[in-house]
Structure 1
Amino acid sequence: MPWNTARVRAVLRTDLPASITVFLVAVPLCVGVSVASGAPAELGLVTGIVGGLVAGALPGSSLQVSGPAAGLTVLVHSAVTTHGLPALGVIVLTAGLLQVLLGLLRLGRWFRAVSSSVVEGMLSGIGLVLIASQAYVLLADASPGGALADLAHLPGAALRAVGTAPGRAALAVGGGVLAVLALWKRVPRRLAALPGPLVAVALAAAAVRLLHLPVPTVGVGGLLGALQPPGADQFALLARAGVWGTVLAFALIASAESLFSASAVDHMHAGPRTRYNRELVAQGIGNTVAGALGALPMTAVIVRSAANVQAGARTKAARVLHGGWLLLFTLALPGLLELVPLAALAALLVHAGAKLLAPRARLRLWRTDRSEALVLTATTLGIVTTNLLEGVAVGLVAALAKTAWDVTHIRLQVEQTPAATVVRVHGNATFLKLPVLVDRLEEVSPTGPVELDLSALTHLDTACRQALTAWADQHRRRGLPVTVTPAPANSRLVEAA
């Protein structure tokens, strides 16, 4: 669409205010994710800038916003710990090129074929690991390392924190941030226009400054000093097989998170729908540029995207402008970051982890579909006990096992009285379960009218149809009236009996 005066006015009226809102939401989250990942605070802002100015300007989705995501914090921290911060750039760059390739091969929509239980389990696992690790920052203590160790030693760390001045101060700051985030939905509408995370962090910074609390703050070394473009030594790391496992994990998980976010954002507005392959290419180009600068990986993030939609954005100009505001802030006001307490950022991420964990939603799933809940639980436990990539693999295996069970599962419910015998068949009647079906039918010995109810079947193949037909004919020959309620998808086949 060509730019004209009317379009410029529309952007100034809707997208410009929305971009400022998204910028205010993005600043504390970009910094918090970066610090929690073991990287300088500036690198998170660089990724946010690239997400806005580069990925935001490319076609794909018009309203979702990209930047460093809490969902990748665990993976990035593991990569930095294992391979070193200088290696992060080449890992992110290579993962971005892989994303571009996946998009050009038109594989974007295939990410939507992954079981939702595996995806939700992945988010729950990430949320639990994130909470466990960031809780130690809230307690002014050192993390033992590893999700299981973090969870096991958390009670002891809490007791130690209560007994020290720095621990009590960090707990007070983090608790205050969590209280503001929890109560922000209840504030008057005029105040609610301000982003809760920004207000919470600003209040925490003011309290630490005014009360001289012994709480560490963000260290700032300057934007240019933080950038670490990969050199020849870093590219040589690609000869290691272990690095490729990390690259693959970055590419697949960042792609899945971005495209699932796109699907959610599409439900929030009535504008153009996401073109998934193009969005995958855009995310890949963004990560390639971020990697070339030595910054964190990016994904589309639902919190900033939702803020963008709710603020009234209409075009991609809002997300591009938010990248411009991040750049201006990073160049002009980097000193403000030194006022931000680490405990406040940790509280932000604990809150984000709780949203990813979503215990109420998981409990509802357990009540409505326990087999899907078991897949989700297997994925979550796999991530907590091993790592992100292996945990997702555990979830995929569990999802395949559940599908195999669903495809072959069959259940007969027999209600026998002197007046009638009712046989209800549930599940999938396939040849794989034919012996079980025949054995179970042979156990039924009706003495009066027979009703064969197949309405609860989801699939009925020819072999099982013939077995059911033969059973019904057998009792008809004995002079018993037999009534068949057919399966919805196979009515004509069953009625032929």
Structure 2
Amino acid sequence: MRRTAPRWPKQTLGADLGASLVVFLVALPLCVGVAVASGVPAELGIITGVVGGIVVGLLPGSSIQVSGPAAGLTVLVASAVSQHGLGTLGVIVAGAGLLQIIMGVGRIGSWFRAISPSVVQGMLAGIGLVLILGQIYPVGGLPQPAHTPEKFAGIPDLLVTATTTATGISGLAVAALTLVVAALWQKMPEKMRMVPGALVAVVVASAVTLVLALPIKKIEVGSLLAAVNVPSVDAWGGLVSPAVLGSIVAFALIASAESLFSAAAVDRMHTGPKTQYNKELIAQGAGNTVCGFLGALPMTAVIVRSATNVQAGARTKLSRVLHGCWLLLFVMMLPGVLNYIPTAVLAALLIQAGWKLLELRQVAALVREHRSEAFVLVLTAVMIVATDLLIGTLVGLGVAIIKSAWEMSRLSVESHHQDDHVRVEFGGNATFLRLPRLLDHLERLPDGKSVHLDLTMVRHLDRACHQAVEHWVAQRRRSDHDVELALPGRTG
């Protein structure tokens, strides 16, 4: 009888166990921070982290990348909760998960790789800007405004509060300490850096706050079971609302794009099995469906935790499954420890995450090398800040498609004039986008000469250009001019 290989090989057990602990230490403050930034109870972020580790971790798709609540979805979650209420969040997340499963079964996962990188980068930059703009308020000791215009309008009051009140000054100092410790930790010896810098920063800043008894608001974490928010029957009735359905589609598309782009990046970091995109999309959908029925935050595959997993030496799925188990055990056994963490500390970490999403060096390189792509990126980011994530992303996609169509629709025209004859040769792609140029050349042809139009070298002649050419030829012939027309594949 043939023996199958063990699912968790003994030779990789030690590496996966060590990696899982490192990822757990990175994930813990981020799960809480993303929940607080989204305007929901902190426990819901931890529930999503547990589901992302255990449920998604066990499913096929990717072997190394780690799933959980993502900073990139905070804007969308906060908007959904503001518009529809916390009770409907679970319905939206579950609906998005089911849609992801359908897309995975329909083998749509691979198509996400065809989305313009400039749109994706612009989407992430826009999210980063909104994230930074929102998280500066907890640092300054003020509640975060719900809408972007209010966030801009509130900056003067924020500056006054952050520099003149005890709460504001303390929050600013603790946030600065968090960022400085996280940055300096990266310069420590490699063995020490196995302990995540974010965790060290949280511990140091929280200890300073406790010792000095600083007047800063701290997070509140209670029982996970008490935080479970199963959607009610009335909440499910929201599925008839176009606004709720729009949120479901937005959650599904953005979470899927972020997960699969993360998978592409993570696959370049390791030499193990590569991601199976459609299976990964199904796994993400299953995780979001479970999160939805628990009323928790949506999840994506997250690049920070995934990269940490790779760098910590993970070899199999066991590392990400165990990280979810450690999250669950920690919150069940030591929930009170999290209540010592100031909200300003988590806000500082999310500001750092938002800054990384901007990727200013890549934007500067894109401006130097591909200005049209840079325009799409900046437009997408600006539209996300000015409107919302869905509208901004759709605008970016639309402009990218138009730009690509324009660039692909190149039409070359050469005219050869003789005494009584003109030969006009067209090449490239004749589409409606180039119709004005095509007609301009035809209308400038002199009267009194016979014309030979040669379109045999045109690779694509769309209906608009075809009809325009034949209409021009017919008009020319009605004026008693000789016209020969050679179309692609035939002559006429």
Q: Same fold (TM over 0.5)?
A: yes
* Equivalence for 1:462: 457
In structure 1, C-alpha distance between the alignment counterparts of 2:374 and 2:210, rounded to whole Å:
46
1:376-387 pair list within 5 angstroms: 376-387=377-388
* Equivalence for 1:395: 396
Note if 1:273 corresponds to 2:274.
yes
* Equivalence for 1:201: 202
* Equivalence for 1:191: 192
Q: Is this contact kept in 1: 2:161–2:168, CA < 8 A?
A: yes
Cα shift at 1:80 = 1.0
RMSD of aligned alpha carbons: 2.7
Cα shift at 1:431 = 9.2
The aligned amino acid for 1:200 is A
The aligned amino acid for 1:299 is T
Change (3 A) 1:397 1:189: same
Cα shift at 1:427 = 9.4
* Equivalence for 2:123: 122
* Equivalence for 2:250: 249
Cα shift at 1:5 = 7.9
Q: Deviations over 1:285-329 (max 9, x none)?
A: 001111111110000000000000111111101101111111101
* Equivalence for 2:60: 59
* Equivalence for 2:469: none
The aligned amino acid for 1:316 is K
In structure 1, C-alpha distance between the alignment counterparts of 2:192 and 2:92, rounded to whole Å:
41
The aligned amino acid for 1:215 is I
* Equivalence for 1:213: 214
The aligned amino acid for 1:103 is G
* Equivalence for 1:418: none
Change (3 A) 1:348 1:462: same
The aligned amino acid for 1:57 is L
Q: Is this contact kept in 2: 1:430–1:463, CA < 8 A?
A: no
* Equivalence for 1:362: 363
Cα shift at 1:20 = 0.5
Q: Is this contact kept in 2: 1:68–1:299, CA < 8 A?
A: yes
Q: Is this contact kept in 2: 1:209–1:339, CA < 8 A?
A: yes
Cα shift at 1:428 = 7.2
Cα shift at 1:151 = 3.0
In structure 1, C-alpha distance between the alignment counterparts of 2:142 and 2:180, rounded to whole Å:
21
Structure 1 residue matching 2:122: 3-state secondary structure: helix
In structure 2, C-alpha distance between the alignment counterparts of 1:35 and 1:357, rounded to whole Å:
21
* Equivalence for 1:344: 345
Structure 1 residue matching 2:67: 3-state secondary structure: strand
In structure 1, C-alpha distance between the alignment counterparts of 2:158 and 2:211, rounded to whole Å:
27
Cα shift at 1:152 = 4.2
Change (3 A) 1:222 1:7: closer
Q: Is this contact kept in 2: 1:430–1:464, CA < 8 A?
A: no
Cα shift at 1:160 = 2.6
Q: Is this contact kept in 1: 2:119–2:400, CA < 8 A?
A: yes
* Equivalence for 1:78: 79
* Equivalence for 1:21: 22
In structure 2, C-alpha distance between the alignment counterparts of 1:107 and 1:113, rounded to whole Å:
11
Change (3 A) 1:436 1:464: farther
Note if 1:146 corresponds to 2:157.
no
Cα shift at 1:191 = 2.0
Q: Is this contact kept in 1: 2:26–2:198, CA < 8 A?
A: yes
Structure 2 residue matching 1:189: 3-state secondary structure: coil
Q: Deviations over 1:28-64 (max 9, x none)?
A: 0000001111111111111000001100100000000
Q: Deviations over 1:199-238 (max 9, x none)?
A: 1111111011000000010112321111111121111111
Q: Deviations over 1:12-40 (max 9, x none)?
A: 22101010010000000000001111111
Cα shift at 1:11 = 3.1
Cα shift at 1:72 = 0.4
* Equivalence for 2:13: 12
In the alignment, structure 1 segments of 5+ residues that lack a partner are 413-424, 444-459, 466-497
In structure 1, C-alpha distance between the alignment counterparts of 2:276 and 2:7, rounded to whole Å:
26
Q: Deviations over 1:267-293 (max 9, x none)?
A: 001111110000000000001111111
In structure 2, C-alpha distance between the alignment counterparts of 1:81 and 1:2, rounded to whole Å:
55
Cα shift at 1:439 = 7.7
Cα shift at 1:87 = 1.2
Q: Deviations over 1:244-271 (max 9, x none)?
A: 1111111110011000000001000111
Structure 2 residue matching 1:66: 3-state secondary structure: strand
Cα shift at 1:130 = 0.3
In structure 1, C-alpha distance between the alignment counterparts of 2:141 and 2:341, rounded to whole Å:
15
Change (3 A) 1:201 1:435: closer
Cα shift at 1:434 = 8.3
Change (3 A) 1:11 1:463: closer
Q: Deviations over 1:381-434 (max 9, x none)?
A: 11111111111111011102211221235799xxxxxxxxxxxx9997889658
Matched length: 439
Q: Is this contact kept in 2: 1:11–1:317, CA < 8 A?
A: no
Structure 2 residue matching 1:54: 3-state secondary structure: helix
* Equivalence for 1:493: none
Q: Deviations over 1:174-198 (max 9, x none)?
A: 1111112222221222321110111
Q: Is this contact kept in 1: 2:53–2:67, CA < 8 A?
A: yes
Q: Is this contact kept in 2: 1:18–1:312, CA < 8 A?
A: yes
Structure 2 residue matching 1:300: 3-state secondary structure: strand
TM-score (norm 1): 0.83
In structure 2, C-alpha distance between the alignment counterparts of 1:375 and 1:427, rounded to whole Å:
25
Structure 2 residue matching 1:462: 3-state secondary structure: strand
In structure 1, C-alpha distance between the alignment counterparts of 2:243 and 2:8, rounded to whole Å:
50
Change (3 A) 1:270 1:369: same
In structure 1, C-alpha distance between the alignment counterparts of 2:137 and 2:25, rounded to whole Å:
26
The aligned amino acid for 1:328 is L
Change (3 A) 1:211 1:241: same
Q: Deviations over 1:93-119 (max 9, x none)?
A: 111111101101111011111111111
- More displaced, 139-148 or 194-203? 139-148
Q: Is this contact kept in 1: 2:8–2:316, CA < 8 A?
A: no
Change (3 A) 1:94 1:439: closer
In structure 2, C-alpha distance between the alignment counterparts of 1:272 and 1:386, rounded to whole Å:
40
Q: Is this contact kept in 2: 1:434–1:464, CA < 8 A?
A: no
The aligned amino acid for 1:20 is L
- More displaced, 340-349 or 220-229? 220-229
* Equivalence for 2:138: 137
In structure 2, C-alpha distance between the alignment counterparts of 1:405 and 1:155, rounded to whole Å:
44
* Equivalence for 1:227: 228
Q: Deviations over 1:123-180 (max 9, x none)?
A: 0000000000000111112334322331343244123310111000000011111112
In structure 1, C-alpha distance between the alignment counterparts of 2:15 and 2:330, rounded to whole Å:
22
